[in-house]
Amino acid sequence: MPTLETYEGVYLWHYVPSLPLALTFTVLFCLATTAHIWKLHTTKIWSNLPFVLGGILEIIGYVFRAVSTNSTGGLLPYVIQDIFLVLPPVFFAATLYMTYFHIVKAIHGEPFSPISMRWATRFFIAGDIVCLLIQGNAAGLLAKSETTKTGDYIIIAGLILQILIFVYFLICCLLFNMRFRAQVGESHAAAHVPWQTCLNMLYVTSMAILVRNIFRVVEFAMQSVNDTGYLVTHEWPLYAFDGALMLSVMVLFFFGTQINFSLY
């Protein structure tokens, strides 16, 4: 029977990770990622590639979480599952940003966007890369017990930056939506493009990622201040506010963008 073990006298885990849950989410993310690979192959919309990469990271993260069930004292599986489950939303966000650009371009709505497409591309993608670098570089610090707290703080900083960028992204989407609908509406040639459905999908998936990031900030804050915090000592919140939300993002994006923007 799996038990809690220590690594150099320190408990990495405060509960034994559930093997059935880890395997279930591994399978679910395998199915979702396979669906996105098929969609990427058929549509050739390469801006969706980060979504596939994010799904692959989720799979790796849950595989090593399953491994950790019988190796709670192992540092490598702990660090890999930790960082690989933190990073996927950064990749999902990159595709969501580019989907907004595709929507605006497809309906010739550039004049109604609160930020020019040229600068929007640079700003959001650059911000996403910075978030990726910040959170990715924290992995090395998490691997050393004496720098774990610093790694937690760096990840928190990356998550907060991602939250701020996402809030600004949502504001841009909402402003564009209101301006375009008020001045053009359904009389435009855009009536042939399900732009409102796609924007609604962006709202829902973006909110899911926002909620997940806020949860992660609180979790890492508890971990850095007090290892006995509820989110640190209980496993179900991770699956409810991270695993389930990120899986729903993959499913919603798959069904919410049934259009080949390259045709417009």
User: How does pLDDT run along the chain (264 residues), one tens digit per residue?
Assistant: 778 887 877 788 899 999 999 999 999 999 999 999 999 999 888 889 999 999 999 999 999 999 999 998 888 999 999 999 999 999 999 999 999 999 998 888 899 999 888 888 789 989 989 998 888 887 777 766 667 778 888 889 999 999 999 999 999 999 999 999 888 765 555 667 888 899 999 999 999 999 999 999 999 888 877 777 899 999 999 999 999 999 999 999 999 876 666 555
Find the distance separating the first CA and the last CA of the chain, reported in whole Å: 57
3-state class (DSSP) for residue 172? helix
Query: What is the predicted pLDDT for the residue at 234?
Result: 93
Helices 117-142 and 88-106: crossing angle, nearest 10°?
170
Query: What is the predicted pLDDT for the residue at 45?
Result: 87
Contacts of 38 (CB under 8 A, 6+ apart): none
Beta bridge partners, 190, equal none
**What's the Rg (C-alpha) of the chain?**
20
Q: What phi, psi does 6 have (nearest 5°)? A: -105, 155
Positive or negative: CA dihedral 199, 113, 101, 247: negative
Beta bridge partners, 6, equal 11
The structure's pTM equals 0.92
Query: What is the predicted pLDDT for the residue at 189?
Result: 56
Tokens of 116: 């020019």
Buried b / exposed e over 77-94, threshold 16 CB at 10 Å, is: bbbbbbbbbbbbbbbbbb
Tokens of 237: 């919140």
DSSP 145: G
Looking only at the bridges linking them, the beta strands covering 10-11 and 6-7 are: antiparallel
User: At 142, which amino acid appears?
Assistant: L
Alpha-carbon span 240 to 259, nearest angstrom: 30
Task: Mark residue 93 as left, alpha or beta (left: phi above 0; alpha: psi -120 to 50; beta: remaining).
Answer: alpha
Centre a 10 Å sphere on the Cβ of residue 246 and count the other Cβ atoms it contains.
26
